[in-house]
Amino acid sequence: MKRRRLDLAQVPANVGKGVDDRYKVATPLRGLLNKVFPDHWSFLLGEIALFSFVVLLLSGVFLTLFFDPSMKEVTYDGPYTALRGVDMSAAYASSLHISFEVRGGLFMRQMHHWAALLFMASIVIHMARIFFTGAFRKPREANWTIGIILFLLGFFAGFTGYSLPDDGLSGTGLRIASAIMLSIPVIGTWMSAAVFGGEYPGEFIIGRFYIAHVLLIPGGLLALISVHLGLVFAQKHTQWPGPLRTNDNVVGERMFPRYALKQGGFFMAVFGTIALLAGLFQINPIWLFGPYLASAVSSASQPDWYVMFMDGLVRLMPAWQIDFPIGDGYVLPPLFWPAVVGLGALFTLPMLYPTIEARRTKDKGSHHLLQRPRDAPERTGVGAMAFTFFTIATLSGANDVIADKFHISLNAMTWAGRIGLLVLPPLAYYISVRVCLGLQQHDREVLAHGVETGIIRRNPDGRFEEVHQPLGPVDDHGHPIPLDYIGWVVPKKMNRVGALAPAIKGFFFPVETLPEAPVSPAVPSVTGPSAREEITSGR
């Protein structure tokens, strides 16, 4: 069979053979191509964080080409006339240079900042999804912990980045960071002196934050994101309960081509959203804040949103100072509690939650099927409590702006925050547990009696009653046989069980004759659209 002539059709096969001879990839690659992923919109929230991170890396590299992380004093001589002749650090001057004189510099800066905000926001939303559906349970506890560390790293990446331009706002943020370090008992002054290289602000901090912001923290993020995704891959994704779905299988579609293609399209859409935000919505206009001066600050000094909860807690803390009358006397300032203890607790308690819940419920099994929030009312209540706390703390971080815009007394805002922080979370717990129980009950009711049709019937004896559409088989008297709850959406409207005809395709005129309308899902057609819908998207 020896032929010298080059057979083009055989080239891919030959290349593949050559590669496999050397690296033995065919078998693992088949597994990869075939890997099945379950599909649900809520599984894509973490992807937004991943894609924003890629945008952060790309735009960040651009910014490093022009940024000068130096606190050397220079006099501004650029095109922005309002600051011409003003003494400032080289870091601030180069940030102005990026904003005003570099082609696309301002666009890239705003893209970087918007991507950072989106990164943190999608982490929080993704975390909420994981929490409320119980996806953190065994065997995924470690990945939950890694996720929280990722949020913490993102928090510090954001703070160091916020500090780098050395404008009026970021300097104030640094000052507060220094005060937080000082508030730590015994080692506080030593810690602040170590970070700032002596007295605040010193001459090192921008350089040190720069290397942390562009190498150390992103390195950590990259490493942990790899582990995070690797674990999702190795442990296989969780899935919602539903037809065919068990704790031992994965129902969905194979990774290639459709699933991977959808990911690619979603990445582009996220990237496009960030580009639109960066182009159209101004963010952090550093030229308006001026260079950092220890003596100047404006009202409405706010950190980025993901730091606001901490700022809010600091604002709400009463002035409780603890004195230790030993020797010359020692002090524990009130700043220590919200900023150090509070932040520490807010990060460690969630890390421990999977263990706490498993111990409380004495649950040692592995879970690959998600729970609807209503089916775990206590967990949902705890989550609602945590988010209420977070929201009040975050709003309190802007209480001066709220007071100003709505003409409320500033002190009243602070007191409302103090009281709200204690009263509202338990209330949120109570309300959400009751709502969950109510929803559970309604699910069972529909499974037992059928869907309300909205049709009122008058019986021969004069009584009125509503006709119910049974979801399953009926007994001899026409009463529905109660169905078991399997942990998935119970159809509660007639439209959900096929009462609504499928939409006609085409904008101005129908492009195709209609497929046959699906029959009742009690007897689903094996290949009909409604049956597929039920399995794949779970609506």
Partner 1 sequence: MTVTQDGAHGAGTEPVDVNDPKLSRFDIVREGARRDDIEIVTYESQFQGTNSKAEKRVVRNIALLFMISGVAAAAFVVFFIVWPWEFELGHTMSDYYTPILGISLGISLFALGIAILAWAKKLLPHEVSIQDRHNKPSSDEDRLITGQTMAYLVDELGVQRRPLLKGAIALGLAPLGVAAAAPLLGGLIENPHKDSEPFMYHTGFDPVPNNGQLVRLTREDGSPVRPEDVSVGGQITVFPGIPEGATNKYADSPTLLVHLRAQDAQDAREATEADKINKGGMWGNYVAYSKICTHAGCPASLYEQQTNRLLCPCHQSQFLITDNARPIFGPASRRLPLLPLEVDDEGFFVAASDYPEVIGPDFWERP
Binding track, positions 343-372, relative to partner 1; x by CB under 8 A: -----------------------x-x----
Nearest-approach distance from CB 17 to partner 1, in angstroms: 16
**Cβ atoms within 10 Å, residue 488:** 17
Nearest-approach distance from CB 92 to partner 1, in angstroms: 12
Instruction: For residue 160, state whether it binds partner 1 (rule: CB under 8 A).
Output: no
Instruction: For residue 17, state whether it binds partner 1 (rule: CB under 8 A).
Output: no
The sign of the CA dihedral 275, 277, 279, 280 is positive
Instruction: For residue 195, state whether it binds partner 1 (rule: CB under 8 A).
Output: yes
Question: Taking contact as CB under 8 A, which single stretch among the options 312-320, 445-453, 463-471, 487-495 is the one that binds partner 1?
Answer: 312-320
Instruction: For residue 249, state whether it binds partner 1 (rule: CB under 8 A).
Output: yes
Nearest-approach distance from CB 530 to partner 1, in angstroms: 13
Instruction: For residue 532, state whether it binds partner 1 (rule: CB under 8 A).
Output: yes
The footprint of partner 1 on residues 441-460 (CB under 8 A) is none
Pick from 135, 184, 217, 447 the residue near partner 1 by CB under 8 A: 184
What single DSSP character describes residue 511? S
Which helix H or strand E contains 457, and what residues bound it? strand 451-458
Nearest-approach distance from CB 225 to partner 1, in angstroms: 21
User: Which residues make Cβ contacts (< 8 Å) with residue 466, sequence separation at least 6?
Assistant: 452, 453, 454, 455, 456, 457
* Bridge partner list, 322: 332
**Cβ atoms within 10 Å, residue 300:** 11
Residue closest to 386 by CA, chosen among 353, 359, 408:
353
Tokens representing residue 197 in the block: 């290289």
Q: String of b and e for 147-173 (b: at least 16 CB within 10 Å)? A: bbebbebbbbbbbbbbbbbbbbbbbbb
Nearest-approach distance from CB 24 to partner 1, in angstroms: 16
Pick from 211, 261, 349, 422 the residue near partner 1 by CB under 8 A: 261
Amino acid (one-letter) located at 394: T
Alpha-carbon gap, residue 231 to 237, rounded angstroms = 9
Pick from 193, 483, 489, 490 the residue near partner 1 by CB under 8 A: 193
Instruction: For residue 21, state whether it binds partner 1 (rule: CB under 8 A).
Output: no
Instruction: For residue 387, state whether it binds partner 1 (rule: CB under 8 A).
Output: no
> Phi, psi (5° rounding) for residue 474?
-115, 160
Nearer to partner 1, 110 or 133 (CB): 110
Instruction: For residue 315, state whether it binds partner 1 (rule: CB under 8 A).
Output: yes
> Phi, psi (5° rounding) for residue 467?
-80, 130
Nearest-approach distance from CB 483 to partner 1, in angstroms: 21
Q: CA Rg, the chain, in Å?
A: 29
Tokens representing residue 481 in the block: 């046989």
Alpha-carbon gap, residue 513 to 533, rounded angstroms = 20
Question: Taking contact as CB under 8 A, which single stretch among the options 119-127, 268-276, 441-449, 475-483 is the one that binds partner 1?
Answer: 268-276
The footprint of partner 1 on residues 398-437 (CB under 8 A) is 399-400, 410-411, 414
CA-to-CA separations, 519 to 190, 215, 500, 525, in angstroms, rounded: 74, 59, 11, 7
The footprint of partner 1 on residues 80-139 (CB under 8 A) is 80-81, 87, 99-104, 106-107, 110, 139
Instruction: For residue 266, state whether it binds partner 1 (rule: CB under 8 A).
Output: yes
Binding track, positions 29-68, relative to partner 1; x by CB under 8 A: -xx-xxxx--------------------------------
Instruction: For residue 24, state whether it binds partner 1 (rule: CB under 8 A).
Output: no
Instruction: For residue 216, state whether it binds partner 1 (rule: CB under 8 A).
Output: no
Residue 429 near residue 381 (C-beta atoms within 8 A):
yes
Alpha-carbon gap, residue 250 to 37, rounded angstroms = 7
Nearest-approach distance from CB 172 to partner 1, in angstroms: 6
Burial of 191 (0-12, 13-18, 19+ CB in 10 A): middle
Instruction: For residue 509, state whether it binds partner 1 (rule: CB under 8 A).
Output: no
Pick from 188, 450, 491, 524 the residue near partner 1 by CB under 8 A: 188
Question: Taking contact as CB under 8 A, which single stretch among the options 25-33, 464-472, 483-491, 492-500 is the one that binds partner 1?
Answer: 25-33
